[in-house]
Amino acid sequence: MKVFVFISLITPIFFGCTVPVNYYIRNLTDEPVKISLIKDGSYDIDKFEFKYINRELPIKFDTYENLIETLKQEPKNNQVNLTILPHSTYHLGFGSNFKQIFNKAIIYRRAGPKDIQLTGTEDLQVHKSFISKYAVWFDIK
């Protein structure tokens, strides 16, 4: 009976919880880079606040705690435009179960625009920390 109670209490921890995810972008180049974040239309948010630092930091789930600058942006037509400073790290926001407010990022470079899908992990790098917390990011090189 004790084993059954123990298993009943532990099972929701592994199967019933959401997976927290933090999303980041790093600019590893010597030039500022313009990006557009395309917002999921089902979210109605008037202003976004991005934390950043003018340094390249290693990405982990809690890297956002080391980001000291703040940038506020208003979306226009479900799109937020940012200039990512050279050698900097930006926190794009929180999500759960690998879903977040932004569906896609468009990076504007001299070679032409590049689309990065933010709805999965195919174009992204992933770091898993203890107890299934994830950091997901892409580097501009």
Contact indicator for 132, 96 with CB cutoff of 8 Å: no
Distances (CA, A) of 137 to 6, 89, 126, 129: 37, 10, 7, 14
Q: Is the pLDDT of residue 140 over 90?
A: yes
pLDDT digits (tens, 9 = 90+) for 29-68: 999 999 999 987 766 677 889 999 999 999 999 999 999 9
Span 103-130, mean pLDDT? 88
Tell how far CA 22 is from the center of its chain. 5
Distances (CA, A) of 24 to 1, 3, 35, 94: 46, 42, 13, 9
Kindly list the domain boundaries of the chain, sorted by start residue.
19-140
Residues 6+ positions from 2 with CB-CB distance below 8 Å: none
Cβ-count burial of 141 within 10 angstroms (0-12 exposed, 13-18 middle, 19+ buried)?
exposed
Looking at residue 120, its pLDDT comes to 74
Q: Where in 1-132 does DSSP place strands (E)? A: 20-27, 33-39, 48-53, 69-73, 79-84, 88-96, 102-109, 112-117, 125-129
pTM, full prediction: 0.83
**Which of 2.40.50, 1.10.3470, 1.10.10, 2.60.40 is the CATH number of 19-140?**
2.60.40
pLDDT band, residue 123 (cuts 50/70/90): confident
Span 82-104, mean pLDDT? 89
Looking at residue 130, its pLDDT comes to 79
Q: Is the pLDDT of residue 5 over 70?
A: no
